[in-house]
């Protein structure tokens, strides 16, 4: 071995206290983070069909969904269910919307 080898400085590894490892939820930050847009998907139902049924589908084809009129609409953000709602309409502008009836996982 050569005497020319430089000594490596000691590693500076920070120490963490158990109090710093809390699993409690942190408060939601306000300000600019609250302005980030997210896309909310309203799922009125799902249908499972075979590839042959899908390939044979023409205009006017019907797919039976797993929900009934009056059932809650599932609301998702990034594929995660955040709550349920009901379909509402705005008579003035002829628009469709969702009124939240329950919130979960936010």
pTM check: above 0.75: no
Beta strands 73-77 and 95-103, pairing class: unpaired
**pLDDT band, very low/low/confident/very high, at 102 (cuts 50, 70, 90):** very high
Architecture of domain 35-103: Roll (2.30)
Residues 10-31 as b/e (b if ≥16 CB within 10 A, e otherwise) read eeeeeeeeeeeeeeeeeeeeee
18-22, 64-68, 98-102: range with lowest mean pLDDT: 18-22
34-38, 48-52, 53-57, 99-103: range with lowest mean pLDDT: 34-38
Which is nearest to 105 in space by CA: 66, 69, 72, 79? 79
* Edge-to-edge strands, sheet with 95-103: 40-43, 73-77, 80-90, 95-103
Average pLDDT of the residues in 53-82:
93
């Amino acid at each position: 071995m050569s005497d020319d080898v430089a000594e490596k400085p000691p590693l500076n590894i920070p120490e963490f206290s158990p109090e710093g490892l809390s699993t409690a939820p942190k408060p939601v930050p306000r300000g600019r983070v609250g302005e980030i847009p997210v896309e909310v998907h309203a799922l009125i139902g799902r249908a499972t069909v075979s590839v042959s049924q899908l390939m044979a589908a023409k205009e006017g084809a019907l797919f039976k969904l797993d929900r009934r009129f009056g059932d809650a609409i599932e609301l998702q953000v990034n594929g995660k269910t955040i709550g349920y709602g009901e379909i509402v309409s705005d008579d003035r502008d002829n628009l469709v919307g969702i009124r939240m009836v329950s919130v979960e996982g936010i």
